[in-house]
Amino acid sequence: MARLRWRGGFGRVWGSIAVSLFGTQVSLLALPLTALAALDASPSQVALLAAAGTAPFLLFGLPAGAWVDRFSRRGLMVTTDLLRGALLASVPLAWLAGVLTLAQLYAVAFGVGSLSVFFDVAALSVLPALVPHGSIATANGRLEGARALSQTSGPGLGGLLVQVLTAPLAVAVDAVSYLGSALLLRGLPHLPPVAAPVRERLVSQVFSGLRFCLAHRFIRPLALGAAWMNFWVEGLLAVLVTWAVRDLELGAATVGLVLAGSNVGYLLGSMAVPRLNARIGVGPTIVVGAALQAGFALTAFAPHPYTLLWLTLGLAISAAGTGLWNVDAVSLRQATTPPAMQARMNASNRFLIWGTMPLGAAAGATMAGAIGLHATVAVCAVLAPTSALPVLFSAVRGVRSMPSYDDLPTPLAPPANDMPGAPVVASLVD
């Protein structure tokens, strides 16, 4: 296996993602608490805030890959970082001026989400160009480790900042984190755009990525499983903070500590991937990751005297599963996709698997109004682990070691008994 070097491009990408993810974790708590505390929003309105932040993946996910191919990826990533920071900085400024509204929060969430679509596609697409093929899983493991560290420390600090500074001012931390990310990316080696075929129109490029994903024997079942998982997990997360604050009567700092403690599971899950891959294989590790979403059930059905303990433990188990899934699923997609198709594959895949997140958040908001917060958490917790089924009954289950697209004689064609009756973009983690 080629050695992964920290110095150079990968180290800068890792650092930029780690810094911005840390700030994002603060905002994930501070934005809904801003709506609740500063604007007296209802549970449904808070849940719709989550939908506004994830809707861009459904709206812009498909064309993002073709657009990313036409620009310098370093320049695109720096620009989107600066714009996201500016949008988030408007929240504390508007609050200090006494003009903050719920409409502005929706607009900021939508704008940051839109810019994140393009940043994420570019970041995922540059990784195979910066590390040797044999180190892709290791590189993704380290990126997921950075995500886990940010998720472990970010919510705890976010809760403390909300307690000390108020929720609107805590959002400023995320704005500063994007500035730090942009400064790190400025030193990234120049990565020229992928030259598009002269006669290939943008629309053709967009749908070529979607066709690639839906025909790929590994990417299609991964997308179906992740999309189903994201729908129910996002529905749960859309109401989780409101449920914890209003029904369980937990303070902002306590909610932050619960989220931070639970994300220790994510760190442990991402760190366990190399050993599990060696022991049971890549495919079975992904299946285990999906099945561990059953941990959400502990959050919904915990006995009252121990609610706080079981809430943290349930979230930690499900987060460990997400860590297992993300490292191997992302690596498997990247390893079995040709370089020229990376951006379009990543964009189409994000459209499929993250496009269900606003739908899930909207469903969570609707259910919260109809059946209550606790019942909504219970429904989502029961259905999330069924996301293991599309992967369990596919070619992914049999993958033992990380393949390469060069090793696949027909990488787009699944075996005949693995193809559904008709190509369907299913309403669907990484």
The model's pLDDT over 325-359, given as tens digits with 9 standing for 90+, comes to 998 998 899 889 887 788 788 888 888 888 888 88
Longest dimension (CA), the chain: 66
**What pTM value is reported for the model?**
0.70
Q: Given a cut of 70, is residue 420 above it in pLDDT? A: no
* CA distance from start to end of the chain: 24
165: pLDDT strictly greater than 90: no
pLDDT confidence of 418, banded at 50, 70, 90? Answer: very low
Distance, CA of 158 to CA of 52 (rounded, Å): 21
- The mean per-residue pLDDT over the stretch 38-65 comes to 85
**pLDDT given at position 3:** 56
Report residue 29 as tokens.
């708590």
Q: Taking the CA of residue 87 as centre, how many other CA atoms within 13 Å lie in the half-sphere pointing to its CB?
A: 24
Mean pLDDT of all residues belonging to the chain: 82
Q: Name the pLDDT band for 25 (thresholds 50, 70, 90).
A: confident
Average pLDDT over residues 201-213: 80
pLDDT in tens, 62-114: 888 778 877 788 888 899 999 999 999 999 999 999 999 999 999 999 999 99
Please tell me the predicted confidence (pLDDT) of residue 110. 95
Q: How confident is the model at residue 396 (pLDDT cuts 50, 70, 90)?
A: very high
Q: What contacts 266, CB < 8 A, 6 or more positions away? A: 144, 147, 148, 151, 152, 319, 320, 322, 323
Q: Distances in Å between the alpha carbon of 400 and those of 131, 168, 279, 281, 397? A: 22, 48, 9, 4, 8
Per residue in 365-381, pLDDT (tens digit) is 899 989 999 999 999 99
Please give the pLDDT value at position 230.
92
Higher-scoring residue by pLDDT: 415, 281: 281
pLDDT at residue 232, as a whole number: 94
> What is the rounded CA–CA span in Å between residue 387 and residue 327?
17
Higher pLDDT, 2 or 246: 246
pLDDT given at position 194 = 58
Higher pLDDT, residue 40 or 404:
40
Of the pLDDT bands very low, low, confident and very high (cuts 50, 70, 90), residue 413 is very low
Residue 389 burial (CB count, 10 A): 16
- Do 324 and 299 meet the contact criterion of CB atoms below 8 Å apart? no
CATH architecture of 9-194+201-418: Up-down Bundle (1.20)
Contact 332, 218 (CB under 8 A): yes
| Mean pLDDT computed over 382-397 | 91
